[in-house]
C-alpha cells in the first residue's frame, strides 16, 4: 500500500489553523463522554477502529468462546452455522481436482472469488489454485484449514460493503479472523468423535505461551493434529440408503406442498415431476436415489458386470427400442437381459421396474454402484502456528507470526469419475436407428464375438439358443469402475503445504495535537498443492481388449504381441484418437501387452493387463504471495467534522 504523506501533512497543517473555539468544543465533548467510555475494536471493512454500534453495515461477530463451548476444531465450523455463509469445497460428497479437502468460505453462494478471508485484518496466502484443474470457484481463496481454531479470539463477518476497502474480491463480503497474540500458560486437548458408528475422528491441540524480558515480550505456539476417516454410502446402511422401507417420510397430515411468499399468506407449490410423491411407495415413503425422487434406482444400461446387447442399444427403460419388442432396450431375442456373473459367463439379469428414466430402473439384480459413492472424504492435517510480540517502548511494538500447515485428503472415487463404454458415445450411423429416429454407431461399445475365447461354454450355448453363431458379433455396455485400484472409480489424493510469515511494527504517536496509530509490515506466503491419481493409457487399454489366439503359443494373447502388421482398433472409446482416457501413448514392445477380459466385474486374472495399461499421474500448482503495507489512522481535527480517518 502506498502512503501519500504529503496529503496527510497537508491535512494536519490545515487542522492546526482551526480556531480556539473549535478546539474548546472538542474538549467539552470529551469531558461529557468521560462518564461513558465505549471500548473501540478493530472492525472489518474499515481501516479505522470504531465502536461496532456506530457501524452503518451489519456485522456478525463470533467469539472464540463459541468455538470452545461447542467443541469446534475447524475454523469453518462456526461460519457455516451462519445464514448466508457456506463453503465452496468441503469433505462432503465426491471431491475432484486440486481442491479436495479444502474449506473455502463463500457468502451467498456467489463463489469463493467474491468472499475475502483475512487473518488479523491482513490478507492471507490463498490455497485454491486457479486453472483448469480447479473444480469450484476461482482465484486465490483462503483455505480455512490453515487457521488454528484454538487461537481464535473472534471472527468478524461483514456481508456487504467490503469491496470499497479491499477490492472486487470482497463483493460478497469479508470474513476476518482475529487471533490471540498474547497467551500465558499451557493448554492440551484431545477429542475423539464417533461418526454415527462408521468412523472415529481424532483431534489433538496443544497451546503454550508466556512472557519474557520482564513482560515486554510474549510468545505463543500452537500445534494441532486432526484425522477424519473416509466414509462411503454402503457404510451408512439403512440409515441413509434404505431400499426396503424408504428414505423420506411424508407427513400424512400434510395434504399439499406449500411455501410462504408474503407474511401471513400461504401459496401452493407445485413440485417437479422427479419429486412427485406419486412415485413413493404405498406408505408415502421415498428412498434415496435418482434426484431424490425414486426408490433405489440402478444403472441397468451400464452395469459393472457388463450388459450384452445385439446392437449396442441399451436404454433398458424404453419399451420401443428399434420397434422390435424382443430387443427391448438391449434384451436378446429370447426376451431376457444378460450380464456376466463371472468372467465370460452369461447370466440372466433382472432389469427391475422402469419408471421413466431410460437408463435407470428400480430393483435390478445388478451390483448397486450407488453404494460406492463417497459420503465423506478422508482428511488429515497438521498445523503449527506461532506469534511473537515485543514492546519496544510504551508506544511501539514489534510483531512476528508464522503459519505452517500440511494436509492430506483422499477420495477413492465413484461412478461419476469412471469411464463408460456405451453406444451413445459413438458417431451417427443410419444403419442403426431406433423407433424415434435416433441413429448411433455401436463402436463406442465393446464388441463381443461369438468366437471370443474368454466366453464360457454356458455363454456360447445361450447365444446359440438365441440364434447366434460363428462370425456373429454382439456389443457390451459397461461402467468401468474396476479399472481403478479402489474398484470404485478414478480416485485420487491431495497433498498441500502452506507457509505464511508476517513481521512488522505497530504503535501510536502524537503529531500536532493529534493521537495517531500506525501499522507497517511485510508478509510472505506460499501454497503448494499436488494431486496424485491413477489413469488409463487408452491406447494400451484398446490393445489389451483386442485379443485372439496366439498361433505360436495356442494361448489367449494380445494381437499386438503376435501380429507384425497390427493396427490399433477404436472400439469401446469415445474418441478414435484415445483422448478420452489420457491420449495416445506408445504400446511398448511386442510381448509387453497382456489380454484383458472385459466380461465380468473385477476379474482377478486381469491383474497383468491392468498393470500394462494403467499408471499414476501427478499434477499441481504453486501460489506465492508477498505483501507490503503501511497505514496511519486517527481522529481528524474538528474542522473537518467527519470523525476518524485511516
> With 90 as the cut, is the pLDDT of residue 556 above it?
yes
Q: Are 118 and 175 within 8 A, CB to CB? A: yes
Question: In sequence order, which ranges of 442-568 are alpha helices (DSSP H)?
Answer: 457-465, 538-545, 559-562
In this prediction, residue 178 carries a pLDDT of 93
Assign 401 a pLDDT band (cuts: 50, 70, 90): very high
Average pLDDT over residues 472-501: 84
Instruction: Tell me the residue ranges of DSSP E strands in 229-257.
Output: 231-232, 248-249
- Name the nearest CA neighbour of 212 among 178, 182, 180: 182
Question: In sequence order, which ranges of 155-215 are alpha helices (DSSP H)?
Answer: 163-166
Assign 449 a pLDDT band (cuts: 50, 70, 90): very high
Average pLDDT over residues 572-592: 60
In this prediction, residue 293 carries a pLDDT of 40
Measured CA to CA, the distance from residue 216 to residue 65 in angstroms comes to 27
- Name the nearest CA neighbour of 76 among 34, 108, 105, 107: 105
Measured CA to CA, the distance from residue 347 to residue 334 in angstroms comes to 13
Average pLDDT over residues 88-102: 62
Q: Which one has a higher pLDDT value, 528 or 234?
A: 528
Which are the contacts of 138, defined by CB distance < 8 A and separation ≥ 6?
A: 111, 112, 113, 128, 130
Return the residue matching grid coordinates 410462504. Answer: 260
For 37-72, the pLDDT digits (tens) are 444 454 555 555 555 555 566 788 899 999 988 888
C-alpha cell, 122? 491482513
- Name the nearest CA neighbour of 311 among 468, 426, 442, 469: 442
pLDDT above 70 covers a percentage of the chain that reads 65
- Name the nearest CA neighbour of 156 among 169, 170, 136: 170
Q: Are 433 and 439 within 8 A, CB to CB? A: yes
Chain centroid, CA 116 distance in Å: 19
> With 50 as the cut, is the pLDDT of residue 437 above it?
yes
Instruction: Tell me the residue ranges of DSSP E strands in 512-591.
Output: 514-536, 547-549, 556-558
Which are the contacts of 468, defined by CB distance < 8 A and separation ≥ 6?
A: 450, 474
Assign 552 a pLDDT band (cuts: 50, 70, 90): very high
In this prediction, residue 258 carries a pLDDT of 43
Measured CA to CA, the distance from residue 101 to residue 43 in angstroms comes to 30
Average pLDDT over residues 591-611: 94
C-alpha cell, 319? 419399451
Average pLDDT over residues 86-109: 67
Reduced to 3 states, what is the DSSP secondary structure of residue 500?
strand
For 381-400, the pLDDT digits (tens) are 999 999 999 999 999 999 99
Determine which helix (DSSP H) or strand (DSSP E) holds 426, and give its type and residue range: none
Region at 323 (left for phi over 0; alpha for psi -120 to 50; beta for the rest): left
> With 50 as the cut, is the pLDDT of residue 136 above it?
no
Which of 154-158, 206-210, 389-393 has the lowest average pLDDT?
154-158
Measured CA to CA, the distance from residue 401 to residue 405 in angstroms comes to 14
In this prediction, residue 433 carries a pLDDT of 57
Which of 65-69, 413-417, 547-551 has the lowest average pLDDT?
413-417
Instruction: Tell me how far CA of residue 177 lies from CA of 85, 122, 242, 251, 274, in angstroms.
Output: 15, 9, 42, 43, 42
Q: What is the mean pLDDT of the chain?
A: 75
For 114-133, the pLDDT digits (tens) are 888 999 988 999 887 765 44
Assign 200 a pLDDT band (cuts: 50, 70, 90): confident
Measured CA to CA, the distance from residue 518 to residue 105 in angstroms comes to 30
Measured CA to CA, the distance from residue 490 to residue 309 in angstroms comes to 26
> With 60 as the cut, is the pLDDT of residue 581 above it?
no
In this prediction, residue 198 carries a pLDDT of 79
For 295-349, the pLDDT digits (tens) are 466 778 888 899 998 876 677 666 555 444 444 478 888 888 999 999 999 999 9
Assign 36 a pLDDT band (cuts: 50, 70, 90): very low
In this prediction, residue 549 carries a pLDDT of 96
Assign 438 a pLDDT band (cuts: 50, 70, 90): low
> With 90 as the cut, is the pLDDT of residue 209 above it?
yes
In this prediction, residue 102 carries a pLDDT of 79
Query: Could you write out the DSSP letters of every residue in 292-338?
Result: G-SSSEEETTS-TT-EEESSS---TT-TTGGG-GGGTTS--TTS-EE
> With 90 as the cut, is the pLDDT of residue 594 above it?
yes
In this prediction, residue 271 carries a pLDDT of 39
Region at 139 (left for phi over 0; alpha for psi -120 to 50; beta for the rest): left
Determine which helix (DSSP H) or strand (DSSP E) holds 136, and give its type and residue range: none
Instruction: Tell me how far CA of residue 435 lies from CA of 422, 493, 536, 559, in angstroms.
Output: 19, 45, 36, 38
Assign 452 a pLDDT band (cuts: 50, 70, 90): very high
pLDDT above 90 covers a percentage of the chain that reads 29
End-to-end CA distance of the chain: 12
For 250-308, the pLDDT digits (tens) are 445 554 444 433 444 444 444 344 433 344 444 444 443 333 344 466 778 888 899 99
Which residues, in sequence order, are bridge partners of residue 376? 92, 231
In this prediction, residue 192 carries a pLDDT of 86
Average pLDDT over residues 229-250: 58
Question: In sequence order, which ranges of 414-468 are alpha helices (DSSP H)?
Answer: 457-465
Amino acid at each position: 500500500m502506498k502512503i501519500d504523506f504529503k496529503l496527510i501533512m497537508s491535512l494536519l497543517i490545515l487542522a492546526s489553523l482551526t480556531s480556539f473555539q473549535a478546539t474548546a468544543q472538542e474538549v467539552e465533548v470529551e469531558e461529557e463522554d468521560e462518564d461513558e467510555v465505549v471500548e473501540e475494536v478493530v472492525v472489518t471493512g474499515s481501516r479505522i477502529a470504531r465502536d461496532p454500534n456506530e457501524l452503518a453495515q451489519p456485522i456478525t461477530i463470533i467469539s472464540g468462546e463459541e468455538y470452545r463451548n461447542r467443541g469446534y476444531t475447524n475454523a469453518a465450523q462456526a461460519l457455516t452455522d451462519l445464514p448466508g455463509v457456506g463453503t465452496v469445497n468441503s469433505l462432503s460428497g465426491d471431491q475432484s481436482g486440486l481442491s479436495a479437502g479444502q474449506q473455502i468460505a463463500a457468502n451467498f453462494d456467489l463463489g469463493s472469488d467474491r468472499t475475502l478471508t483475512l487473518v488479523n485484518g491482513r490478507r492471507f496466502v490463498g490455497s485454491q489454485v486457479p486453472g483448469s484443474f480447479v473444480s469450484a470457484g476461482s482465484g486465490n481463496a483462503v483455505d480455512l484449514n490453515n487457521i488454528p481454531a484454538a487461537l481464535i479470539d473472534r471472527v468478524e463477518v461483514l456481508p456487504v460493503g467490503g469491496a470499497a476497502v479491499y477490492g472486487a474480491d470482497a463483493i460478497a463480503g469479508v470474513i476476518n479472523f482475529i487471533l490471540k497474540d498474547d497467551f500465558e500458560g499451557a493448554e492440551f486437548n484431545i477429542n475423539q468423535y464417533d461418526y454415527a458408528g462408521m468412523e472415529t475422528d481424532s483431534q489433538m491441540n496443544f497451546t503454550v505461551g508466556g512472557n519474557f524480558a520482564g513482560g515486554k515480550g510474549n510468545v505463543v505456539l500452537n500445534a494441532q493434529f486432526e484425522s477424519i476417516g473416509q466414509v462411503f454410502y454402503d457404510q451408512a446402511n439403512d440409515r441413509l440408503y434404505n431400499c426396503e422401507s424408504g428414505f423420506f417420510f411424508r407427513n400424512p397430515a400434510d395434504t399439499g406442498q406449500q411455501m410462504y411468499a408474503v407474511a401471513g399468506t400461504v401459496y401452493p407449490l407445485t413440485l417437479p415431476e422427479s419429486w412427485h410423491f406419486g412415485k413413493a411407495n404405498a406408505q408415502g415413503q421415498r428412498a434415496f436415489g435418482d434426484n431424490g425422487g425414486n426408490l433405489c434406482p440402478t444403472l441397468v444400461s451400464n452395469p459393472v458386470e457388463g450388459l450384452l446387447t445385439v446392437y449396442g442399444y441399451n436404454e433398458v427403460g424404453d419399451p420401443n427400442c428399434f420397434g422390435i419388442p424382443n430387443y427391448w432396450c438391449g434384451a436378446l431375442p429370447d426376451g431376457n437381459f444378460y450380464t456376466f456373473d463371472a468372467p465370460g459367463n452369461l447370466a440372466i439379469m433382472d432389469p427391475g421396474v422402469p419408471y421413466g428414466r431410460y437408463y435407470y430402473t428400480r430393483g435390478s439384480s445388478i451390483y448397486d454402484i450407488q453404494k460406492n459413492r463417497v459420503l465423506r472424504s478422508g482428511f488429515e492435517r497438521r498445523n503449527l502456528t506461532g506469534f511473537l510480540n515485543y514492546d519496544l517502548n510504551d508506544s511501539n511494538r514489534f510483531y512476528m507470526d508464522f503459519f505452517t500447515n500440511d494436509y492430506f485428503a483422499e477420495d477413492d472415487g465413484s461412478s461419476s469419475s469412471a469411464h463408460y463404454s456405451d453406444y451413445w458415445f459413438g458417431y451417427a450411423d443410419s444403419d442403426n436407428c431406433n423407433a424415434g429416429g435416433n441413429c448411433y454407431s455401436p463402436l463406442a461399445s465393446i464388441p463381443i464375438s461369438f468366437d471370443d475365447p474368454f466366453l464360457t461354454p454356458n455363454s456360447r450355448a445361450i447365444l446359440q439358443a438365441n440364434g447366434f453363431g460363428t462370425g456373429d458379433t454382439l456389443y457390451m455396455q459397461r461402467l468401468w469402475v474396476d479399472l481403478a485400484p479402489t474398484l470404485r472409480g478414478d480416485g485420487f489424493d491431495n497433498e498441500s503445504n502452506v507457509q505464511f510469515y508476517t513481521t512488522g511494527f505497530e504503535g501510536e504517536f502524537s503529531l500536532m495535537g493529534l493521537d495517531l496509530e500506525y501499522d507497517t509490515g511485510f508478509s510472505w506466503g506460499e501454497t503448494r498443492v499436488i494431486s496424485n491419481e491413477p489413469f488409463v493409457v487408452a491406447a494400451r487399454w484398446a490393445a489389451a481388449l483386442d485379443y485372439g489366439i496366439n498361433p505360436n503359443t495356442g494361448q489367449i494373447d494380445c494381437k499386438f504381441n503376435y501380429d507384425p502388421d497390427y493396427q490399433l482398433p477404436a472400439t469401446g472409446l469415445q474418441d478414435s484418437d484415445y483422448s478420452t482416457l489420457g491420449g495416445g501413448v506408445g504400446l511398448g514392445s511386442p510381448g509387453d501387452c497382456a489380454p484383458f477380459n472385459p466380461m465380468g466385474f473385477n476379474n482377478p486374472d486381469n491383474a497383468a493387463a491392468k498393470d500394462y495399461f494403467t499408471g499414476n499421474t501427478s499434477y499441481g500448482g504453486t501460489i506465492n504471495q508477498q505483501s507490503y503495507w503501511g497505514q496511519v489512522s486517527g481522529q481528524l481535527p474538528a474542522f473537518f467534522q467527519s470523525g476518524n480517518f485511516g
